[in-house]
Amino acid sequence: MILPDTSLARRAWWLYAAAVASSLPTLGFYLVGEEGILVNSSLEMWQRGDWLHLWMYGVDAQHGVFANWLVILLCSVVGWEHAPGAVRAIMIGSTAAGGLMLALLTHQLYKNAELAALAAAITVTFADILFYRGWLGYRDPLLGMLVFGAIAALWLAVEHRRAAWLLGTLLFTAAAFLTKGIIAYAFVGAAVLVFLGQRNIGARAFLLRPAPLVVALVTLSVPFAWAYVVGGNQSHNSRLMAEIADKLAPLGALAYVKNLATYLLETLLRLAPISLLVLWWLYRRRAWPAWWAEPPVRTALMIVAVAYIPFWLAPQNHFRYVLPVLPLLGLALAVIIFQMGQQSETPMRTALRWLWATVALKLLLAVVVFPLYQHKVRGENYALTARAVMQRTAGFPLFSNDTTAAGLAVTAYLNILRLPQPALTFAPAAWDNGFTISYSADAPELRSAKVVAQYRLAGDTLYLYCRGAACSALVP
């Protein structure tokens, strides 16, 4: 039995709040990595008035648009000049919401507010989430929250034998699919498989009733219905499946074995510090049977295993792909720490101290180190380059053929500077006057154009091409 401790709940919720708040300074950061994708595509969708297709550089990328909807709605309020911060605000909110969803699920399973608070705090202080992935303006935090919401709703439906909870699974799964494609179904499917295999708790009998089966059928029909709406055919889903197939492209035998080993180590480190602490305690105390006897812990870890193993075994993998099941690990780790805390308060105090220290380190990085890095190395130079290109090309057509991370960032800043002009697109094949930015000094499609400037962006270089009258009207 897990005993309540009101003071622990307060400390855990303060830790949760501090972890989330530590990401607020990132709202003022310059663009990082490929964050320009959401900024550019959302702006172009808004300008075109087309919310169904992911427009970027004048091309339908045939990708999910739910994240873009949120960006468009928020930027319509705060202004498109704040688009980079708006994108990050949505992802920070998604990370915070994922922690709250876990707290709700944990409380429903254990009827223990202290355990629920600890689980939420652990989830938002995983190193990968706290330092980077939880605030970065990619779709991953939103996808993770939505997929976990679908799994949590499914779990509560099984726990309470109420099909109404499955409507949550339907809505969250549909939104997750519209965020990043068919991969959302793999995670929810992993949870379904685990519950179908648990005959001892009656999960299979419940899920095979008519009402759950109808909801499952509607959920499975979403990708096909969406593909028909946006394209009238299944080309949208075909492109998404091709994207998944690319991740299965084989590596050499040695590289593959190395990948298998390093992925496990990377997982352990990205879940630090709590993963390292708990692993050490379990090794020292030989406490494996106690936590495995907890049915929710077994269920959570089985779902994680079914979802994690395919990504681990895939030749092309990345830790961010398993983001949706990290809250389930947070649940398991919270229960393990609680069990250890019944014999001694030391594990609980030690865990909280380490997590507070991690949050303090994150604040130092967010307030001092990373802004300095952006000023000296990479980040601010994107915005400065955009202004330089803007001045050099004033009065002439401008295009962007640069799809690198640096090019996406510069293009995003140019799009914002040029408002209310349309977002930049790829240069048309027949353009005969104006400028184009590119990542290559000898781009085949720009052979008849002239390189008139180049801008060093840390390890990248952006080239400015011209054609026609624009070449003879260069600013000295």
User: What are 111-131's pLDDT values in tens digits?
Assistant: 999 999 999 999 999 999 999
Q: How many domains does the chain have?
A: 2
Residue 412 and residue 355 share a domain: no
Q: How far is CA 31 from each of CA 208, 388, 398, rounded to the nearest angstrom? A: 47, 17, 21
317, 344, 369: which is the final residue of a domain? 369
Distance CA 307, CA 184 (A): 11
The answer to the question of residue 374 being in a domain is: no
Residue 195 and residue 112 share a domain: yes
The answer to the question of residue 256 being in a domain is: yes
Q: Identify the pLDDT of residue 1.
A: 40
Please tell me which residue, 252 or 23, carries the higher pLDDT value: 23
Mean pLDDT, all residues of the chain: 90
339, 369, 399: which is the final residue of a domain? 369
Place of tokens 């939880």: 134
The answer to the question of residue 127 being in a domain is: yes
Whether residue 237 has pLDDT greater than 50: yes
Whether residue 166 has pLDDT greater than 60: yes
The answer to the question of residue 45 being in a domain is: no
Residue 421 and residue 343 share a domain: no
Residue 405 and residue 317 share a domain: no
340, 369, 398: which is the final residue of a domain? 369
Q: Which of 7-11, 24-28, 43-47, 450-454 has the lowest average pLDDT?
A: 7-11
Residue 389 and residue 298 share a domain: no
| Percent above pLDDT 90 for the chain | 71
pLDDT band at 228 (very low <50, low <70, confident <90, very high): confident
Q: Identify the pLDDT of residue 241.
A: 62
Residue 427 and residue 349 share a domain: no
Q: Identify the pLDDT of residue 459.
A: 84
Which tokens belong to 98? 């994922």
Q: Identify the pLDDT of residue 447.
A: 83
The answer to the question of residue 205 being in a domain is: yes
Whether residue 420 has pLDDT greater than 60: yes
The answer to the question of residue 43 being in a domain is: no
Q: How far is CA 108 from each of CA 90, 116, 118, rounded to the nearest angstrom? A: 27, 9, 14
Q: Identify the pLDDT of residue 233.
A: 59
The answer to the question of residue 346 being in a domain is: yes
For 449, left (φ over 0), alpha (ψ -120 to 50), or beta?
Answer: beta
pLDDT band at 6 (very low <50, low <70, confident <90, very high): low
Query: Are 51 and 18 a contacting pair, CB within 8 Å?
Result: no
Taking residues 384-400, report their average pLDDT: 95
Residue 214 and residue 85 share a domain: yes
pTM: 0.93
Whether residue 2 has pLDDT greater than 60: no
Whether residue 431 has pLDDT greater than 60: yes
Query: Are 268 and 276 a contacting pair, CB within 8 Å?
Result: yes
Question: Which domain range does residue 84 map to?
Answer: 6-30+62-369
The answer to the question of residue 132 being in a domain is: yes
Taking residues 216-245, report their average pLDDT: 76
